[in-house]
Amino acid sequence: MAIKKKQDFEGERALAEVLFNSIGDGAVTTDEYGRITRINPAAQAIIGYSEKEAIGQWLPRIFEAYDDNNEPISLIERPVTRAFVSGNVISERTIYKHKSGKLVPIAMTISPIMVKNVPIGCIEIFRDITQEYEVDKMKSDFISLASHQLRTPLSAIKTYAHMLLDGFMGQLTKPQIKSLKTIVSASNRMNETISTLLNITRIESGSVVVTKKPVSVASVIEEVVNEHRLTANDKNISCRIDRPKDSIKIISDGVVLKEIFSNLVSNAIKYTPVGGNVTIALKTTGSLVVVSIKDTGVGIPEESRDNVFTKFFRADNVIRQETSGIGLGLYLVKGLINELGGDVWFDSKVNEGSIFYVSLPLLPHTINTHTVKK
């Protein structure tokens, strides 16, 4: 084997240095303690610190990271820490603070440098995404504004249609009642679509506000089922809630939970033919509360399994039956469940039915209402 000369090593080193410095994106490397060993000119420009100021410094000190709410990200949650701990490559967006104090949104990939399965440092490649961030924000602001503007006239339509239906403006004929019911149900659907769009905008812009406090899961489910009772009755679908006697309280956001269950219950009713059954069951397993929403509906084809939680996806069997929908409900459900630290999954068989499961972290203990009353 040819032995490399000292000059060869130096030549390769110089070449590596030139390559590193020519990368158009920011690049920074650290040793095993997270101290900066190299920083290229693009990284210096993004972060505002010179090579002299950065080398030897602890990366999280020079690269201060913030979340979408401009809150500092704790060390344990920093991608650099997670990359070290897991040994995995991590790609995500974050916000860095420029030396001047200005916050800069960036997209980064951080990879541990492994030698014989031991991390000896890491390399981070990142770029300034201020422009993409602003375009995304403009898009979200536009959807948000358009949705709010649609909501106001829609409320008027709904209110007056309900007043007419309730006989406040005189007796109605059967065809008039039928037409008004169609107006009410169409405006309800439109209202749901607007809510979904607004919620998705919030999730994608990281501005979902989760207000956690003790909430009874069964009460939320009862409310949701009551709101869908009319639609279920119209299709002669029985809706049953199977819940334990004791109240299961979790620390969560009731409004977000309602949105999640409302989507799942409404799907169960929508995709179940006339005369079917929908059963919502509630139980605790270990440190989780698990809610299942079971229907005797059209089911989800095997080949669609991996796609149902993706944006705008609708399976072939439901498109063929021309049921209404835009394929955003489950995408929203998944996003909201993530916000609450839970999980969602399903089992299904075509023409037999589906069962969707939602798991949420429980309180340290379940509150037994009977015990509390004593």
**DSSP annotation of 25:** S
Toward ligand ADP, which CB reaches closer, 298 or 337? 298
Within residues 35-54, the interface with ligand ADP by CB under 6 A covers none
278 near ligand ADP, rule: CB under 6 A: no
Toward ligand ADP, which CB reaches closer, 141 or 234? 234
Report the residue from 318, 344, 358, 360 that binds ligand ADP according to the rule CB under 6 A: 318
79 near ligand ADP, rule: CB under 6 A: no
With 0-12 CB in 10 A as exposed, 13-18 as middle and 19+ as buried, what is 19? exposed
151 near ligand ADP, rule: CB under 6 A: no
Within residues 332-371, the interface with ligand ADP by CB under 6 A covers 354
200 near ligand ADP, rule: CB under 6 A: no
From the list 21-29, 65-73, 180-188, 263-271, the region that binds ligand ADP by CB under 6 A is 263-271
> Helix, strand, coil % (nearest 5) of the chain?
45, 25, 30
296 near ligand ADP, rule: CB under 6 A: no
CB of 184 to ligand ADP, least distance (A): 19
Taking the C-alpha atoms of residue 219 and residue 203, their distance in angstroms, rounded to an integer, is 25
237 near ligand ADP, rule: CB under 6 A: no
CA end-to-end span of the chain: 85
Place of tokens 């095997």: 302
Give the helix/strand (H/E) hosting 17: helix 6-22
Angle at 23 between CA 17 and CA 28, to 5 degrees: 70
Place of tokens 């919620």: 199
Report the residue from 254, 299, 335, 342 that binds ligand ADP according to the rule CB under 6 A: 299
Toward ligand ADP, which CB reaches closer, 197 or 308? 308
Taking the C-alpha atoms of residue 200 and residue 339, their distance in angstroms, rounded to an integer, is 12
Report the residue from 298, 337, 340, 362 that binds ligand ADP according to the rule CB under 6 A: 298
From the list 95-103, 114-122, 237-245, 295-303, the region that binds ligand ADP by CB under 6 A is 295-303
DSSP per-residue letters across 100-123: TS-EEEEEEEEEEEEETTEEEEEE
273 near ligand ADP, rule: CB under 6 A: no
CB of 59 to ligand ADP, least distance (A): 40
Taking the C-alpha atoms of residue 81 and residue 171, their distance in angstroms, rounded to an integer, is 70
325 near ligand ADP, rule: CB under 6 A: yes
CB of 309 to ligand ADP, least distance (A): 8
Report the residue from 194, 280, 315, 362 that binds ligand ADP according to the rule CB under 6 A: 315
From the list 55-63, 87-95, 102-110, 322-330, the region that binds ligand ADP by CB under 6 A is 322-330
Phi-psi category of residue 141: left, alpha or beta, with phi > 0 → left and psi -120 to 50 → alpha:
alpha
Give 10's contacts (C-beta < 8 A, 6+ positions apart). none
268 near ligand ADP, rule: CB under 6 A: yes
Toward ligand ADP, which CB reaches closer, 325 or 361? 325
User: Is the CB of residue 334 less than 8 Å from the CB of residue 308?
Assistant: no
Task: Report which of 188, 269, 261, 254 is spatially closest to residue 224, judged by C-alpha positions.
Answer: 261
Toward ligand ADP, which CB reaches closer, 72 or 327? 327
Q: Which residues bind ligand ADP (CB under 6 A)?
A: 263, 267-268, 271, 295, 297-300, 308, 313-315, 318, 325-331, 354
